[in-house]
Amino acid sequence: MHNLIVTNDPRQWDIHVEGVEVISAQSYLKNNNYADLPHMRVFNLCRSYRYQSSGYYVSLLAAARGHKVFPDVTTIQDFNSQAIVRIMSEELDVLIQKLLTPLKSKDFILSIYFGKNIARQYDELSIKLSNLFQAPLLRARFVYNKKWVLQNITPIPLNEIPLNHRPYVIEFAREYFHRTRFVPMRKKQYRYDLAILVNPQERHPPSDKGALRKFISAGRKIGFAVELITRDDYHRISEFDALFIRETTFVNHYTYRFSRRAWAEGLVVIDDPLSILRCTNKVYLAELLTHAKISIPQTLIVNKDNIRQIEQTLKLPCVLKQPDSSFSQGVVKVETAQMLEEKLEFLLKKSDLIIAQEFVPTEYDWRIGIIGGKAIYACKYFMAKRHWQIYDWQNGPPIRNYGATETMPIEKAPLEVVKASLRTAKLIGDGFYGVDLKCVDGKVYVIEINDNPSIEIDTEDRVLKSKLYSEVMLHFLKKLQKNNGIG
């Protein structure tokens, strides 16, 4: 693999590293010889990545040429996003507090050169930040306000490296390129590379170990090299052609960041970032379904100014839902005015808007699994014993208490349930969804749509068996072939 350092003025990079060529930004942008070189790694050290600057175009055209570039355009955008920086800070919070709490100042700047800092005690934090923001030279600013937080992170222009740091930059650069120089290109034994994002510590993931093994087997049978990855593999996303997220998704979470990054890199992604945004917020779903005239239980979007309307409109008991609730958590049934007041106070501290919904008791909920606009399985999820929900988190032991399930061929599910599910899923996208519905007196109500539906051994796959996993993998294959102009 050819290594290329691109800078506004190559004279500023007076470091000779074997196997690394240094050229100007103008040469990279205008010289067609570089455009046609395969297996190129481009290290963009331009002074600025401002939109439409030469530094910005180096990263943009590198992606168009199929070169691996650091930083890429997505990372450049992330530098300017306070939301992304805040999420990063939260994910590394334990490590940040551990390392920076002994400091006496209220401001700390960490210079990161090829994944390292001149002080060895910051190596772990440096490598984690450089994996999240993949750029050769980084400056991370931390500030203390009750606790240490990452305020911003930016690239370091070559001309801003302190003179006393230059020997370290030389050392770290040579170590980096020597370490990566002899890594062979992975031989393509498969047509495509698929990553499945999992969290081994998640107590109740969307797919158990048996289901994950089935997905891996189904993928390999149709030509995928399948690999399980974790949150620590964020920097490896571009190695793959597709990403399948098999842990619970949230917007303010690294699962969304993985999805967003993979989408920007051109991977086929389930769950794609738009589906996560749309499905994980119940306020959005309530507004979307109402606007589309899809039948849902009577619903009120609640804020601090209209809480008195709940009893008048919905009566008691009713159900309150925090916008990002999942697996029945963050959903409460309130039966008295006092309980309503207490729960509203608690939920409205977390979100300016919440959902209040009429209580619609049923023996079970329907779950219709849909992928690529096709309904593939139908389940009845029965309520937990002596409880009004499928999952009973309050009365269960350390593991969740949940009701029985009954799976049937999709053609045996009520036609109106399937049709309502397909119509609902179409509003979200063409990914993989689980639509939850209730039937009351012959009328179908959509309860919600999940972007990350559960697939577990001997539950959702009880009818289709291995074919269910193959359906999901075939969806990936069709999307990849379409993206590559095949078929």
pLDDT tens per residue, range 169-228: 999 999 998 876 544 444 456 789 999 999 999 988 999 999 999 999 999 999 999 999
User: Residue 375's closest CA among 438, 437, 419?
Assistant: 419
Give the pLDDT score at 203: 85
The DSSP bridge partners found for residue 300 are: 356
Give the pLDDT score at 74: 83
User: Residue 453's closest CA among 375, 364, 340?
Assistant: 375
CATH number assigned to the domain covering 192-274:
3.40.50.20
Task: Give all strands (DSSP E) within 250-363, no chain letters.
Answer: 268-270, 299-302, 318-326, 329-334, 354-358
Q: Which position has the higher pLDDT, 34 or 112? A: 112
* HEC per residue, 375-429: EEEEEEEECCCCCCCCEECCCCCCCCEECCEEEECHHHCCHHHHHHHHHHHHHHC
Give the pLDDT score at 187: 47
Give the pLDDT score at 340: 93
Rounded CA separation 76/395 (Å): 48
User: Residue 186's closest CA among 225, 212, 157?
Assistant: 225
Q: What average pLDDT does this structure show over 384-388?
A: 81
Which superfamily, per CATH, for 362-450? ATP-grasp fold, B domain (3.30.470.20)
Location of structure tokens 């506004």 = 8
Asked if the model's pLDDT at residue 135 lies above 90, the reply is yes
Task: Give all strands (DSSP E) within 71-163, no chain letters.
Answer: 107-113, 137-144, 148-155
By the 10 Å C-beta count (0-12 exposed, 13-18 middle, 19+ buried), 179 is classed as exposed
Token pair for 298: 């009577």
Asked if the model's pLDDT at residue 357 lies above 80, the reply is yes
What pTM, to 2 d.p., does this model score? 0.76
Mean of all residue pLDDT scores within the chain: 89
Give the pLDDT score at 320: 93
User: What is the second-level CATH architecture of the domain 298-359?
Assistant: 2-Layer Sandwich (3.30)
Rounded CA separation 212/217 (Å): 9
Asked if the model's pLDDT at residue 245 lies above 80, the reply is yes
Long-range CB pairs of 115-121 (<8 Å, 24+ gap) are 115/172, 115/176, 116/168, 116/172, 116/175, 118/165, 118/168
Asked if the model's pLDDT at residue 369 lies above 90, the reply is yes
Give the pLDDT score at 393: 61
User: Residue 57's closest CA among 26, 81, 83?
Assistant: 26
Rounded CA separation 393/329 (Å): 7
Token pair for 70: 């650091």
Structural fold of domain 2-76: Oxidized Rhodanese; domain 1 (3.40.250)
Token pair for 182: 């002899």
Domain map of the chain by residue range? 2-76, 82-161, 192-274, 298-359, 362-450
Q: Which position has the higher pLDDT, 447 or 252? A: 447
Q: What average pLDDT does this structure show over 407-429?
A: 97
Give the pLDDT score at 399: 47
Q: Alpha-carbon Rg of the chain, whole angstroms?
A: 26
Let me know: does 484 contact 267? Beta carbons within 8 Å.
no
CA atoms 371, 373, 374, 380: torsion sign: positive
Directed axis angle between helix 93-100 and helix 123-132, to 10°? Answer: 150
Give the pLDDT score at 180: 66
